[in-house]
Amino acid sequence: MRVYLPQEKHNSNYLNLGDRTREGKSQESRIGKGKKGEEEVLRQAAEDLKVELSQPRVAKLTGGAASKLSTIRVVRKSITCILTVINQTQKENLRKFHTGEKYEPLICGARRHEENPKTKQQQQRTEQLHLLRQYLDKA
């Protein structure tokens, strides 16, 4: 996964977040376990990208070049990638902070579909109701 960064502040335009390292872990997981300043760097990068996103949007309204319009999608995806990394690290830190307590926040617990898995009877019923349709071809 590559994140597009603004051109003014960084030498290269792309920051690799999902490239695998020798250990087999992606850099996303290392960002969450790293220094405190890295989250601030990511937040600043997201803010810079939001500013950069406004330029092609203005060009879209004024009827600008197609090259400007194609960058909108790339910039938006990179913003979402950075924000998901930030949110994941925050949730990890919350889970670590609240481990062993009597009451945990809802964010730290499992999601609904993880809490209540379907029983075998429920699974069989859904499979019977939603069978795959089989068709024959006339020769």
| Rounded Cα–Cα distance for residues 3 and 82 (Å) | 8
The proportion of the chain whose per-residue pLDDT surpasses 70, expressed as a percent, equals 70
Amino acid at 3: V
pLDDT digits (tens, 9 = 90+) for 2-23: 555 555 544 444 455 544 433 4
- pLDDT average, residue stretch 88-103: 88
DSSP string, 8-38: TT-SSSEEESS-B-TTS-BHHHHHHTS-THH
Q: Quick one: which of 1, 86, 13 has its CA closest to 49?
A: 13
pTM: 0.53
Amino acid at 125: R
- pLDDT average, residue stretch 75-104: 90
Return the pLDDT at 11.
Answer: 47
* 113 — pLDDT class (breaks 50, 70, 90): low
| Rounded Cα–Cα distance for residues 14 and 4 (Å) | 5
The proportion of the chain whose per-residue pLDDT surpasses 90, expressed as a percent, equals 18
